[in-house]
Structure 1
């Protein structure tokens, strides 16, 4: 997807219309790739001067995916969600007053970041070793359990990935979702990859799959008010026999360690003061989702 029109008031000014947000991706990608900043080799960590340039520019470009409540464009055309709202507060503290949201598919967030189509991924992205090899992560701002969308009454009695594997059921999940790896690790053979949780709800409702796997808060949000499907009880997934912690954070290019470190310092101030919870509560997050885990621990 693509860059929006300029929004000089961050998220509180003129609404970002979805059609405008989706226009011009190729042009932005070409400009980003042609920029003067060298993209480091994978695994090469550098200090970087992006924060100084962002302060001069007055605007930071944040990549988001259409996944409520993490990051999305609402019905009024305004980019919002827990991650963009955290970004707005932190970047303002860092001297960058404006946020420009760039929506894209979830699976394109890291490639888009590396191609300089945006400056930071602000989409509640899970931190795991595979992604850590490609980008720098902030410490996580939440810790999440998994859940399934199932038909009303949960006719197959699904409570875990192992249940789906043992019963030979068909599962769906979203593009590049961590849940795909959890399901494969548990032995699930039949997995349908869909764009997002809305498509997942439709697939379950229509009987094309038996369940859709996602984060508990995503699943709870999308099934609300629908009388044909429901969410299962939240559970802790595993990977390789160990708990797979669904902790999400912000991703930065490996050339921008200075920006990541400055962002982390402000994030910890929000955690220590309790302001982080106040920022994300409107999106359904509670004290149970707060975490003291670090990116270093999650990256392994």
Structure 2
């Protein structure tokens, strides 16, 4: 829990120092079993491939954002991390602000609304949108404009950017609590369309018989990043410094390639989390995407 881990840094550092002194006096070897400073950090994931999920066979957390989190927080910064699954997307930021975890590693898009409650690390992944539909796409829907007059049963992940965009566009739709639910709605005939990031739909439903993932499209500039508490400025700075090194060296791309990401999903050069939090999405898209 947040109150017992990251927020108690000063006390933890003092205790570690005292423990080292006692160990040196007690057995003479001066050893320290922990890596780095050994400070505890709790990270939340959400079950959505290819970003972050629990592998059914191993029971271990995996995914592109988890690989990045483990590399930065554990391997490079020396934190003792615990990764917990939050099954409800809408609970990720409330759980963060309530102190249940220190970081959200779920490929969460940076939006002005979310920035009012959480701080975001530097941009990591560029997202496009797609629809999960019946094989053959019988209604011919390829973007949100096609949905406006189609009169179809549409679902989106509750709290996700796709739901927000459809609200702005006046598209009637229902929401589901998980990506698996959205897929099951279309597979079972309870919905005609499930809107989600293209990467997720390809990873989770691209091979399901009778279903089809449409070609991806860009509605607004959607960029994923790790989320933090606003007051954890030092932690964000630590993370961003290591992230910048990974990006510059090409190691970041190597980490996420395993999960299907490529150079095409790397964020535009020079784009910042602050811009995504504060500036008009249409203007940002025009500046960084619509050349």
Q: Secondary structure at the match of 2:218?
A: coil
Kindly tell me the number of residue pairs found equivalent between the two proteins: 254
Conservation of the 8 A alpha-carbon contact between 2:41 and 2:80: yes
Question: Who wins on radius of gyration, i.e. which is larger?
Answer: 2
Shift of 1:107: 1.1
Q: Are residue 203 (structure 1) and residue 203 (structure 2) matched? A: no
Conservation of the 8 A alpha-carbon contact between 2:74 and 2:81: no
Judged with a 3 Å threshold, the aligned counterparts in structure 2 of structure 1 residues 278 and 149 are, in CA distance, closer, same or farther, namely same
* Match of residue 88 from structure 1: 70
Cα separation, 2, equivalents of 1:90 and 1:120: 12
* Match of residue 82 from structure 2: 100
Q: Secondary structure at the match of 1:233?
A: coil
Conservation of the 8 A alpha-carbon contact between 1:147 and 1:215: yes
**2:127 is matched with which residue: 144, 147, 152?**
144
Q: Secondary structure at the match of 2:227?
A: strand
* Match of residue 220 from structure 1: 202
**2:233 is matched with which residue: 257, 277, 281?**
257
Judged with a 3 Å threshold, the aligned counterparts in structure 2 of structure 1 residues 231 and 271 are, in CA distance, closer, same or farther, namely same
Q: Secondary structure at the match of 1:268?
A: helix
Between Structure 1 and Structure 2, the one with more helix by share is 2
* Match of residue 283 from structure 1: 259
* Match of residue 185 from structure 1: 168
TM-score w.r.t. length of structure 1 = 0.79
Q: Gapped runs of 5+ residues in structure 1?
A: 1-27, 39-47, 238-243
Q: Are residue 245 (structure 1) and residue 241 (structure 2) matched? A: no
Shift of 1:57: 3.9
Judged with a 3 Å threshold, the aligned counterparts in structure 2 of structure 1 residues 35 and 145 are, in CA distance, closer, same or farther, namely closer
* Match of residue 230 from structure 1: 212
**2:48 is matched with which residue: 67, 72, 78?**
67
Cα separation, 2, equivalents of 1:126 and 1:119: 18
Q: Are residue 172 (structure 1) and residue 155 (structure 2) matched? A: yes
* Match of residue 297 from structure 1: 275
Judged with a 3 Å threshold, the aligned counterparts in structure 2 of structure 1 residues 50 and 250 are, in CA distance, closer, same or farther, namely farther
Cα separation, 1, equivalents of 2:149 and 2:162: 17
Task: Give the root-mean-square deviation of aligned CA atoms.
Answer: 2.3
Q: Secondary structure at the match of 1:217?
A: helix
Conservation of the 8 A alpha-carbon contact between 1:59 and 1:96: no
Conservation of the 8 A alpha-carbon contact between 1:124 and 1:249: yes
* Match of residue 61 from structure 2: 79
Cα separation, 2, equivalents of 1:150 and 1:296: 35
Judged with a 3 Å threshold, the aligned counterparts in structure 2 of structure 1 residues 106 and 66 are, in CA distance, closer, same or farther, namely same
* Match of residue 157 from structure 1: 140
Post-superposition Cα deviations, 1:130-177, rounded to whole Å, max 9, x if no partner, equal 111111100111001000000000000001111111112221011211
* Match of residue 41 from structure 1: none
Cα separation, 1, equivalents of 2:52 and 2:11: 23
Judged with a 3 Å threshold, the aligned counterparts in structure 2 of structure 1 residues 217 and 50 are, in CA distance, closer, same or farther, namely farther
Conservation of the 8 A alpha-carbon contact between 1:171 and 1:192: yes
Shift of 1:221: 1.1
**1:267 is matched with which residue: 243, 246, 266?**
243
Cα separation, 2, equivalents of 1:35 and 1:59: 5
Cα separation, 2, equivalents of 1:217 and 1:67: 10
**1:132 is matched with which residue: 108, 115, 136?**
115
Cα separation, 1, equivalents of 2:49 and 2:41: 21
Post-superposition Cα deviations, 1:242-271, rounded to whole Å, max 9, x if no partner, equal xx2110001111111111011111101100
